[in-house]
Structure 1
Amino acid sequence: MGLKSDLEEDVKRIYSSVWTRRKGQKVPEDTDLKAGNDAVDLQATILYTDLDESTKLVDNYNDEFAAENYKTFLQCATKIIRSEGGHIRSFDGDRVMGVFIGGSKNTSAVRCGLKINYAVKQIIQPKMNAQYNTKYVMKHVTGIDSTNVMVAKAGIRNSNDLVWIGKAANHAAKLSAMSSSHPTWISDKVYDGMSDDVKYSKGINMWEERKWTAQNNRRIYRSTYWWSIS
């Protein structure tokens, strides 16, 4: 059988197979899903955090320095996500995705985003400046959204990954591409569902409301605040 016939059979099978779907009680692992049209439905809050201007970093600095900045950013981000009860489910170069579930998922994800901002500003940058005489300033953006998501497995045997289908996954990724002038961007669903301790600082709202013109003027919020890490 040639490659074309093989691909045609694969596509036909995917389109014609009936889906098996079930409500998830936990964030699925790769082994929890079958290769066919098998899916888990989750109420989840998705966080994407992305190292901003990484192209300028690799274009203007040596590869070891760039690699160290990738590594420090992802090291801090992943540990913070896990410390807030999030699950790491995807890496994409200089970006990582975290999944939060449960009753406090919005609050945990937002606190996580604010802590990542603290780590970049108060841990990574000072350590970098102490090690190197450099003009480089690390910038990043975290995007967070919350909806129902459908989780399925895609790819071929030994080369597959989970795919996350739903507004939260897509919009969180797009929010992480917003301006790094405000390192944390969240959706209306997240803002309306999070607790006041991540909404206000000494009585002042930490979040500025904006209209997301690319998404039918959806209400979103941005912040420059951070949450201190002890």
Structure 2
Amino acid sequence: MSVADDIRSNSKDTFGTAWTVRDGQVVPAASDLKLSNDAVRFETATVLYADLDASTGLVESKKWEFAGQVYKTFLYAASRLIRNHSGSIVSYDGDRVMGVFISKTQRNDAVACALEINYAVKNIVQTELEKKWKTDFKIRHVVGIDTSTVRAARTGVRGDNDLVWIGNAPNLAAKLTSLSADKPTWITKRVYDYLKDKQKLGPQGENIWRKWQWSQHNQDEIYSTTYWREIK
């Protein structure tokens, strides 16, 4: 069978086969699903993307050793905190990591994680960088968070495949990371409406979030903050 025939056969089978869907209780691994139209559904899942800002300029202007260490330390900090807040790491994509939260407090868990990522980047990773390198480089990042019904399916070819996450939350959380790193945490209204005071209010009882109209996506109501939560 030629490559064209193989692709044609896959398209015919995929478009011609009904989905088998089951409700998920835990975040699946790729091996938990078939390569056919098989999916796990979560009525509500919260997706967090943590993205290293301006990484193109970083690799173009700095030594590869420096850029590599920035990548590694940023992704480690974000990943360690995702797991610490009961999230599951489901994807690494170059300079960013995707986490999925499915607990009853998933929105607050994800936002607490984002605030701690902000603290870790600015007060731990940046500090250690400056001890080892004589540079004025500042690590900047953006975290995007959204929540929705989400389905996970397996995609790829035999021997080389992974999960794809289908739903508004994965798409919009990723798109939020294209917004300004001057306000490193961005969330949708669907997330904001569920926040408890610990994730909504600052040390003086002030609301830490600023509301925006998202011009790049239907004027949706979104929120940003510059605050962080100290890691103990």
Task: Supply the distance in 2 between the matched residues of 1:196 and 1:217 (Cα, whole angstroms).
Answer: 26
When structure 1 is superposed on structure 2, of 28-37 and 144-153 the one drifting more is 28-37
Task: Supply the distance in 2 between the matched residues of 1:34 and 1:4 (Cα, whole angstroms).
Answer: 23
Secondary structure of 2:22's counterpart equals strand
Secondary structure of 1:204's counterpart equals coil
Task: Supply the distance in 1 between the matched residues of 2:24 and 2:84 (Cα, whole angstroms).
Answer: 22
Which of 196, 204, 212 is the equivalent residue of 1:210? 212
Partner residue, 1:131: 132
Query: What's the C-alpha RMSD, in Å, of the aligned pairs?
Result: 0.7
* Superposed counterparts of 1:35-50, under 5 Å: 35-42=35-42, 43-50=44-51
Maintained 8 Å contact 1:19/1:38 = yes
Secondary structure of 1:121's counterpart equals helix
Task: Supply the distance in 2 between the matched residues of 1:44 and 1:212 (Cα, whole angstroms).
Answer: 22
Unpaired runs of 5+ in structure 1? Answer: none
Q: By how many angstroms is 1:18 displaced? A: 1.0
Which of 221, 224, 227 is the equivalent residue of 1:225? 227
**Number of aligned residues:** 230
Partner residue, 1:91: 92
Is 1:26 matched up with 2:29?
no
Query: TM (normalized to structure 1)?
Result: 0.99
Q: By how many angstroms is 1:11 displaced? A: 0.5
Secondary structure of 1:169's counterpart equals helix
Maintained 8 Å contact 1:57/1:66 = yes
Structure 1 runs, 4 residues or longer, greater than 3 Å off: none
Q: Which amino acid aligns with 1:105?
A: Q
Is 1:64 matched up with 2:69?
no
Maintained 8 Å contact 1:145/1:190 = yes
Q: Which amino acid aligns with 1:196?
A: D
Task: Supply the distance in 1 between the matched residues of 2:72 and 2:6 (Cα, whole angstroms).
Answer: 39
Q: By how many angstroms is 1:102 displaced? A: 1.8
Q: Which amino acid aligns with 1:21?
A: V
Q: Which amino acid aligns with 2:135?
A: T
Q: Which amino acid aligns with 2:112?
A: R
Is 1:100 matched up with 2:101?
yes
Task: Supply the distance in 2 between the matched residues of 1:112 and 1:102 (Cα, whole angstroms).
Answer: 14
Q: Which amino acid aligns with 1:2?
A: S
Task: Supply the distance in 1 between the matched residues of 2:196 and 2:126 (Cα, whole angstroms).
Answer: 29
Task: Supply the distance in 2 between the matched residues of 1:179 and 1:195 (Cα, whole angstroms).
Answer: 25
Q: By how many angstroms is 1:120 displaced? A: 0.5
Q: By how many angstroms is 1:135 displaced? A: 1.5
Q: By how many angstroms is 1:127 displaced? A: 0.8
Query: TM (normalized to structure 2)?
Result: 0.98
Q: Deviations over 1:36-87 (max 9, x none)?
A: 0000111100000000000110001000000000000001110000000000
Maintained 8 Å contact 1:104/1:194 = no
Q: Percent of counterpart pairs with the same letter? A: 47
Q: Deviations over 1:145-174 (max 9, x none)?
A: 000011100001111110001000000000
When structure 1 is superposed on structure 2, of 73-82 and 24-33 the one drifting more is 24-33
Task: Supply the distance in 1 between the matched residues of 2:110 and 2:74 (Cα, whole angstroms).
Answer: 17
Q: Which amino acid aligns with 1:185?
A: W
Partner residue, 2:180: 179
Partner residue, 1:158: 159
Q: By how many angstroms is 1:28 displaced? A: 1.1
Task: Supply the distance in 2 between the matched residues of 1:3 and 1:59 (Cα, whole angstroms).
Answer: 37
Secondary structure of 2:82's counterpart equals helix
Task: Supply the distance in 2 between the matched residues of 1:10 and 1:113 (Cα, whole angstroms).
Answer: 39
Task: Supply the distance in 2 between the matched residues of 1:176 and 1:111 (Cα, whole angstroms).
Answer: 17
